[in-house]
A and B are shown apart, each in its own frame.
Chain A
Amino acid sequence: MQSPANDLLTKTETAQASANRTPVIALAGQPNVGKSTIFNILTGLNQHVGNWPGKTVERKTGTCEHLGRALTVVDLPGAYSLTANSVEERIARDYIIQDRPDVVVAVVDAAILERSLYLVAELLLLPAPVILVLNMIDVAEQEGIKVEPQVLQAALGIPVIPMCATRGRGIHALLDTVQALIGGNLEYRPRRPTILPNHEMILAELVRRIAPHVPDRYPVDWVALKLLEGDSEITTQMQETLPNDVWEQVHATLYEHEDAILDIAGARYGWIERMVRAAVERPKVGQMGLTARLDKVLTHPIWGMAVLLAVLGGVFWLTYSIGVPLQTWLSDVLDRLAMVAGQALAEAPGWLSALATDGIIGGAGMVVTFLPILIVFFTVLAFLEDTGYMARIAYLTDRFMHAMGLHGKSFIPLLLGFGCNVPAILGTRIIETRRARGLTILLAPLVPCTARIAVVAVLAPVFFGNRAGLVVWVLVTGSLIALALLGIILHRFILRGEQVAFIMELPLYHLPNLRTIGLYIWQNTVAFLKKAGTIILLVSIVVWVFSYFPNGVVSESYLARAGKWLEPVGQWMGLSWELITALLTSFIAKENTIATLGVLYGDYETVLPTVLSPAGALAFLTTQILFIPCVATVATIKQEAGTKWMIASLFLMLGLSLGAGIGVYQLGVLLGL
């Protein structure tokens, strides 16, 4: 296979070119490979700094002397390739093509050869001999990467100089090699990257068409290759240069092979890989960096999951041992506050006292009790995020979430839902795509929060005595099964077709920064209080109005009327209007179910078993645990996803809970419960 550009230089040509003028060395390389350090060492104080003609990019030139001979050194702008992606890349290639330096010194970072050699692959196609400088060889050695310069030199067919520029090591060897190459005393037979045979034919056709019109300074093969790569600058130049009929033929060929760049660049990477495989020895498992070693365990399908389960256990333990007691304590404080407010407003109109105690403190005040749980979760989140472990959780859980059309990142918000659905909805912010975020928001209320679990845990013994534990376990497990099934159904039949593959570059592990964690908790807490709190306060007052008016008696309120209106639905589940009303009031906060039952039945623990069959009790508890989420969650859904998603969530949960309640009741009746 033929290279795109012929060997344009011979020993004689090189020697002749430099015989009558001061030889020019051009330093090329990517940014941050130590090119400027080498330039400074070579030129010392003999530097001139200006701008490249017509550009605002800095141009540095200088002179040095070696073995009694002067050399001009030009520091080319840092470039990743020689395609017209940036002004720096255009300057670098134009200089080499038009000014024809005697030698191009390609500086690469020895520790990241894969990254650095692409530029070299392109430099070898230009009409100037290339010397490769393996800079930062010491850093590569420290990282356990062993590069063999002689092997690389044999593989590339060009001189390779190992260097540690910051210590001045390798500079003399470089200058000796430059002199030898300019003097024609060094063999130069570069092994250039090749292209696929089918593209070689297309390239030959392009060369044939454009050859008579390409300006003298440009190698025709190189121009044709750049056209095939889709280089914007060369394409524009040739469009202006070629006669119309020729351009139309060329353009048709280029259009047909629009993606040739993938094969051309792919072949260059294949070439790079062969070079790296031949000359680079990487550290073994025992010598890997901390991140790689940790990831061997933490992203392992078995050990990684074991660690993850332990981490999740820790999250629950922290939440229940710190967050829930604090929430209970805050609830007691709120109760006392409501009592004090009631006493203070004893002389005020009844509605005002009820608004303050039941509407504002009992409704919006409930939000404040979420704070301890939120803070615990935000702390854990910030810690996991700041150490870099969060990304590993997303990666590990991806395979499970995938069945539901979700990625692992959805696992985190769903996990938060066990504490409270509000942070679960807020937690969906970490999800990238709108579809995945919406789907997670729809599924999050199906994770039974502490309040839901508490309500069924309180009511289950009333109906089922010592079998209550089993009933609660079945209810919680059933919720999670419903979540998985709903996720699969939504993914397969409604929100399908948008899922895409991702490449995930896992971040390095970090020691957590306490200030970052503190800031994260503070900002999240303030944002929650400001945004969710204001909406919740408003909605709480509205719902309270419906439960209080027209005459202050709950059983005759508009809410109760709605309950009675819904009684026919209740009958399908064996539920009275009181139980339906209790369900409705759980919209303000889940715990309200118990409070409402207390108001409507008095000693509900004694009365309920007499008015409700086991089948009805199971239906009630099933509906309760699957019922539409509390107002705080609904408000947060609206805030985070918008009204449409909120309405979708409400209808979904309402349909699911009532459907499940009816199903459970009818099945129970069939079984004689």
Chain B
Amino acid sequence: MLFQLLEILNRSDRLHTPPQLAEALHTTPQMVQQLTEHLARQGYLVEAPQCSDGCADCALRAMCSAEGHKAKLWTVTEKGLRALHRSGGAP
């Protein structure tokens, strides 16, 4: 399931939501969240920062990071791409 999730992310460079991924993996959004967090703990995914580098001196930086109001974004790391490459799932 973890490999499959990485492969889906690697095949398409779009935004995916847990419900969409759940449909593709024939599982629940809750399970996708769990898989996402597991992959992140193992270093295959990383949570994208909520503020861009241009926000370093922004007065709203603290507010931007407020929990619960922002969408969490996850993306594949170099380690994830290497794993896909080794398995033949990445170019």
Contacts from A to B (Cβ < 8 Å): 80, 85, 112, 114-115, 118, 258-259, 261-263, 265-266, 269-270, 272-273, 276, 282, 295, 299, 385-386, 388, 391, 394-395, 398-399, 402, 407-408, 428-434, 437, 499-508, 510, 516, 519-520, 523-524, 526-527, 640-641
Contacts and interface: CB of A to CB of B under 8 A. Distances in A.
Contacts of A115: 30, 33-34
6 contacts: A114-B28, A114-B30, A433-B52, A500-B75, A501-B15, A520-B60
B50 to A, nearest CB: 8
Most buried by B among A270, A295, A432, A520: A432
A19 B76 CA distance: 53
Given A262-B2, A262-B44, A523-B59, A269 B17 contact: no
Contacts, number: 160
B15 A504 contact: yes
Contacts of A395: 15, 17, 71
Nearest to A441: B54
A503 B9 contact: yes
Contacts of A258: 83, 86
A661 to B, nearest CB: 32
B36 A503 contact: yes
Given A276-B28, A429-B58, A520-B63, A502 B74 contact: yes
A506 to B, nearest CB: 5
Interface string B9-33: 1101111111101000001101111
B52 A434 contact: yes
A391 B34 CA distance: 21
Interface residues of B, number: 55
Most buried by A among B50, B51, B64, B73: B73
A527 B60 contact: yes
Interface string B34-56: 11101001101100111111110
Nearest to A388: B69
A398 B70 CA distance: 16
Contacts of B32: 503
B29 to A, nearest CB: 9
Contact of B2 (A266, A501, A520): A266
Contact of B35 (A259, A269, A402, A519): A269
B91 interface: no
Nearest to A272: B31
A270 B1 contact: yes
